[in-house]
Structure 1
Amino acid sequence: MADTIVDDRAVFTGFDSLTYAPRGIEITLPNSSEKHYIPDVLEELKPKVGMTFDNMDQAFAYYCNYAAASGFGVRKEDMHFLASSRKLTQLQKHMIQSMAKINIGPVRAFNVMRTIFGGFEEVGVSKNDCKNFKREINLFINEYDAEMMVGNLMKKKEHLPDFSCEYFTDEENCLVGLFWSDGESKRNYQVFGDIMSFDATYRSNRYSMVFVPFTGIDNHNNNVSFGAALLASETTETYKWLLRCFLKAFVKQPDVVVTDQDPAMKKAIEDVFSGSRHRLCMWHVMHKLSTKVGVTLCNTTDFKQRICDIVWTDSLSPSEFEVGWHSVIQDFDLSDNNWLGDIYDMRESWIPAYYRDELMSGLMRTTSRSESENHFFGQVCNVRSTLLEFLTHFETAIESQRHNQRKNDHDTRYTRPQLKTDFVLEKQASQIYTKTLFLDVQVEIVGIEKCINVKLENIDGFTKFFIKDFDQLCNSYFEVMYRPEDTTIHCSCRRASELNGTCKYNKRPVRVPVGYKSKGSGVHNKRIKSKQEEAIVKAGKKSRQCQNCKEYGHYASTCSKPPKKTGVNTKEKTFDTMSADS
């Protein structure tokens, strides 16, 4: 233990006995306004790295002597409350900035550090210190927020060949529009870009700029982002500029564009995406139902259920939808409701009955998908965040989305779903579809057991069947047209075309085109395995073992070595020998 030396100038006599004046010098670090105090004490009093003590009391007493000689006091337990004792370390600053990437604020970051470090006093700072640090950063970037964000994206455009970024400003050089997309987004668009959602309902930052994500559906039936934009205004000209930037980056137009009911957006799509079909998002339309019609009517009657039954379905024909709509309107005396009249007039743009033959990938027809997208981008948007913070949140969210996509690819490639029937069709479908899509197809295949079909007649090369589904009403049936020449199938429920030929009213197996060979295809219904899968199967497969020579690869009947005598024969020989000796 080191010797305790007490300076004659100041002797520690208790926790509250003296009020000290600092003895030493103050220095200011270069490029900083922080001041540091260096005590002027004897060298023997200064604590040194490597000093050891028998217990905490001796260590505390030694430090108290050093503090008294230096001109400051020491108190147990509450020193961490003093401003001079609170200072964010580089690790803590890094943690606050890293947590901000996933939209965790400074107060929540402090609570995380408190848990990790083992208590409030172990953190060494207060919640206000964390908030002040975050505020100082925001004050620093506030004036240059847009400039720093644009500079960040333009630098990526300069160094990444597949990265696209376009922006424009007004007369005062204020940012009006910003669009960006990276290489992986472009590759996703080439594969999944036939149908695209174009949404402008998110307020993303403190400047009230509108966040506009471009979204599609991947082969796992999940949302996939193609690009994003920030707009300061929602005029037709702004949307035209944005769509031209999109067309410049992706070259081709989508087949179908799904948007909300913004008239400026509709006009821009007609002018720029002239080759695309424009549809309205059903979720955005029906989301307003309670507000426009009345909460009481929706919650106390079956009005909402009845209107949803004829809207959220693609099994009705246009005439059947119109009959059902007028029936609901008359029963609840809503013929004077202007909003219901307006959405009925534009029914061809959002009711599935009017575009049953179009492949929409479920982009318009499921509330869960729209709510999932709304939640996903809602986590990105924060009305108090700066543009740089928003960009960080967006990049973190996209990274998570792509991780999930790779995870789904892995699960499809290396796991097999559980089969529920003995149909060869189900087994073949499990080898062709991705795991997520197969679960949808499996529902249709399982439903085959509840259907009966009757061959009716031949019409222009097609065989006409009537299919009765015993889960449906007694007087309902489905009509299926089948042409044997090219296995073309038309079903009145339209599920066959939506699922590439598979619905429970159509028992024909789904096959890939002739001449195309992939991991999911092959002869004799055998799936082509990768080298890794073959190694796994080989490692876990029990090989043949010869009971004669104990080697692998053949049986005893085909063994080239002379047969060995068994233990029974050996015992008999030993017994005979013993008998002869006796």
Structure 2
Amino acid sequence: MEGNVKTQEFCCSKEGFRVSKVNIVDRQRAHTPVTRTGCKARVLVTTTNSNDQWVISKSYQKHNHALCTPAMTPFMHSNRVVSKADIDEATTLKEVGVGTSQVMNYLTQQAGGYHNVGFIHKDLYNALQRGKVKEIVDGNVNALIAYFDYKKHDDREFFMTYSVDESGVLYNLIWSDSTSRSDYTYFGDVIVFDTTYKYNLYGRPIMPIVGVNHHHNTIVFATAIIADETSQSFEWVLQNFLEAMMNKSPISVVTDGDRAMQRAIKSVIPYAKHILYYWHLSRNAQANIGDLKFTAVFSKYMVSWWTTEEFDIQWRSVVSEFNVQKHPLVIDKGNTRHLWAQAYLSGHFFANIRSTQRCESINASLAIALKHKKTYLDVVRAIEDGISRMRMNELKADYLSSIRSPPDHKTGRP
């Protein structure tokens, strides 16, 4: 979770009322019972500034409904837990062909009744299903690591590293082959991160790290599959990316404006100049303010070659003209104009890649290539196939360039 939570409210499970829905005569499923009664019982806790301890600041204990009887409390959702011992025993029984219902009956008899078992049939079923999913994920990860080991044997300069969480599940992953690492040596002054592409591979976003070569064609330096979009994950990616690239820091970094990414850049590569995509800025302006004229003027001001003093005057003028001085987006963009206004970016090298076309083309290819991929290994190989096609196109570009510019017969030079 990003940010620091200072206050948390705990409400009764019967708080509020169920949203009313249209009563359809031909409804196939019966309405579930109404359980919410608008109960106002709640506890408010806040954290102290001195030692970060949580204290109860408000408490209202009066319920407007009958409370659960002691005999029924074991069946409350918050009290139902399937222990690891129960899961292990149930798994053993399932492996020899015993059905889930029979397993539940057996565990209930062992515990001396339903009120002692600690969970219901649905809880046991869900726990066994989670175990199956983890087994599949672990198997996929093992296959992926074996594939990367093969790649390292074939490509001595192949780089791959990953991290796992406290339960041993794959967390973050980054890889780069020898060609990509060599490309970074020559063309790694400007790198581009795009965190907008989401691919539902166990909920993991895929993040290509790209740049441009001497033909201004997009090249991929590395690819990461991350657990989440927090500063911690982005810092992990940047730190290991630098390790893969012999600690050569880029001169400039172009991103989509993700705040967690901005914090990671400041932490890991503080001397790199950071700027934002044009396209994301224009899209956000239109989505939040909804005025095409303002968006057009805003887009024009982003690329105008003014001095910083001229830009500030023009910016105040247009903000006043459209009466958006108090709009949160306008306030934010005004405070961060050093990240997007050309007036504040003069003299910095960005290899002419301030638009998102570099990453969008890759994202479009990813969306197609990964549409039916179900495992980590399938995804990695699809990404590698896409990178291979990009390199083939680059070879074609080199060949066509040599045809258009034949060498001089006297000097032998193009």
Q: TM-score, normalised by structure 1?
A: 0.45
| 2:220 alignment partner in structure 1 | 225
| 2:383 alignment partner in structure 1 | 394
Alignment deviations for residues 13-65 of structure 1 (CA, whole Å, 9 cap, x no partner): xxxxxxxxxxxxxxxxxxxxxxxxxxxxxxxxxxxxxxxxxxxxxxxxxxxxx
2:256–2:276 CA contact under 8 A, matched in 1: yes
- d(CA) in 1 for partners of 2:371 and 2:167? 26
* 2:252 aligned with 1:256: yes
Letter in 2 for 1:293: I
| 2:404 alignment partner in structure 1 | 415
* 2:392 aligned with 1:403: yes
Letter in 1 for 2:412: I
Q: CA deviation at 1:398?
A: 0.4
| 1:188 alignment partner in structure 2 | 183
| Structural mapping, 1:270-309, within 5 Å | 270-294=266-290, 297-298=291-292, 302-309=293-300
| 1:359 alignment partner in structure 2 | 349
Equivalent of residue 267 in structure 1, options 263, 267, 279: 263
| 1:144 alignment partner in structure 2 | 139
| 1:164 alignment partner in structure 2 | 159
Alignment deviations for residues 140-186 of structure 1 (CA, whole Å, 9 cap, x no partner): 96661222122211331244211000011112111001110000001
| Structural mapping, 1:197-212, within 5 Å | 197-212=192-207
Letter in 1 for 2:350: M
- d(CA) in 1 for partners of 2:404 and 2:245? 34
- d(CA) in 1 for partners of 2:381 and 2:221? 17
| 2:111 alignment partner in structure 1 | none
| Structural mapping, 1:433-448, within 5 Å | none
Q: Judging changes above 3 Å, is the alpha-carbon distance between structure 1 residues 254 and 175 closer, same or farther for their aligned structure 2 residues?
A: same
1:205–1:386 CA contact under 8 A, matched in 2: no
- d(CA) in 2 for partners of 1:280 and 1:383? 32
- d(CA) in 2 for partners of 1:304 and 1:274? 31
Alignment deviations for residues 94-141 of structure 1 (CA, whole Å, 9 cap, x no partner): xxxxxxxxxxxxxxxxxxxxxxxxxxxxxxxxxxxxxxxxxxxx9996
- d(CA) in 2 for partners of 1:213 and 1:221? 17
Cα RMSD of the aligned pairs, angstroms, is: 2.7
What's the secondary structure of 2:202's corresponding residue? coil
Equivalent of residue 412 in structure 2, options 501, 516, 528: 528
| Structural mapping, 1:106-121, within 5 Å | none
Q: CA deviation at 1:389?
A: 2.1
Q: Judging changes above 3 Å, is the alpha-carbon distance between structure 1 residues 384 and 332 closer, same or farther for their aligned structure 2 residues?
A: farther
2:172–2:227 CA contact under 8 A, matched in 1: yes
What's the secondary structure of 1:190's corresponding residue? helix
Letter in 1 for 2:330: L
| 1:560 alignment partner in structure 2 | none
* 2:168 aligned with 1:173: yes
Which protein has greater RCO, CA pairs closer than 8 Å, 6+ apart? 2
Q: Judging changes above 3 Å, is the alpha-carbon distance between structure 1 residues 308 and 279 closer, same or farther for their aligned structure 2 residues?
A: closer
Q: Judging changes above 3 Å, is the alpha-carbon distance between structure 1 residues 161 and 253 closer, same or farther for their aligned structure 2 residues?
A: same
User: Percent identity among equivalent residues?
Assistant: 28
Q: CA deviation at 1:367?
A: 5.2
- d(CA) in 2 for partners of 1:376 and 1:343? 31
- d(CA) in 2 for partners of 1:226 and 1:161? 17
* 2:301 aligned with 1:326: no
2:278–2:299 CA contact under 8 A, matched in 1: no
5+ unaligned residues in a row in structure 1: which ranges?
1-137, 417-430, 432-518, 531-582
- d(CA) in 2 for partners of 1:241 and 1:368? 26
2:174–2:225 CA contact under 8 A, matched in 1: yes
Q: CA deviation at 1:527?
A: 5.9
| 1:460 alignment partner in structure 2 | none
Q: CA deviation at 1:200?
A: 2.2
- d(CA) in 1 for partners of 2:178 and 2:370? 23
Q: Judging changes above 3 Å, is the alpha-carbon distance between structure 1 residues 368 and 173 closer, same or farther for their aligned structure 2 residues?
A: closer
Q: Judging changes above 3 Å, is the alpha-carbon distance between structure 1 residues 308 and 337 closer, same or farther for their aligned structure 2 residues?
A: same
2:190–2:250 CA contact under 8 A, matched in 1: yes
| Structural mapping, 1:42-53, within 5 Å | none
Equivalent of residue 154 in structure 1, options 139, 149, 154: 149
| 1:119 alignment partner in structure 2 | none
- d(CA) in 2 for partners of 1:217 and 1:146? 31
- d(CA) in 2 for partners of 1:210 and 1:335? 35
Q: CA deviation at 1:210?
A: 1.2
Q: CA deviation at 1:213?
A: 0.8
Equivalent of residue 379 in structure 1, options 368, 374, 382: 368
Equivalent of residue 327 in structure 2, options 321, 325, 337: 337
* 2:232 aligned with 1:237: yes
Q: Judging changes above 3 Å, is the alpha-carbon distance between structure 1 residues 231 and 368 closer, same or farther for their aligned structure 2 residues?
A: closer
- d(CA) in 2 for partners of 1:346 and 1:383? 40
| Structural mapping, 1:94-133, within 5 Å | none
Counting matched residue pairs gives: 281
Q: Judging changes above 3 Å, is the alpha-carbon distance between structure 1 residues 346 and 383 closer, same or farther for their aligned structure 2 residues?
A: farther
- d(CA) in 1 for partners of 2:356 and 2:249? 26
What's the secondary structure of 2:389's corresponding residue? helix
Q: CA deviation at 1:225?
A: 0.5
Letter in 2 for 1:352: Q
5+ unaligned residues in a row in structure 2: which ranges?
1-132
Q: Judging changes above 3 Å, is the alpha-carbon distance between structure 1 residues 150 and 199 closer, same or farther for their aligned structure 2 residues?
A: farther
- d(CA) in 2 for partners of 1:369 and 1:178? 22
Higher deviation after alignment, 181-190 or 355-364 = 355-364
| 1:122 alignment partner in structure 2 | none
Alignment deviations for residues 506-552 of structure 1 (CA, whole Å, 9 cap, x no partner): xxxxxxxxxxxxx79x9xxx76348xxxxxxxxxxxxxxxxxxxxxx
Q: Judging changes above 3 Å, is the alpha-carbon distance between structure 1 residues 353 and 372 closer, same or farther for their aligned structure 2 residues?
A: farther
Q: CA deviation at 1:369?
A: 4.1
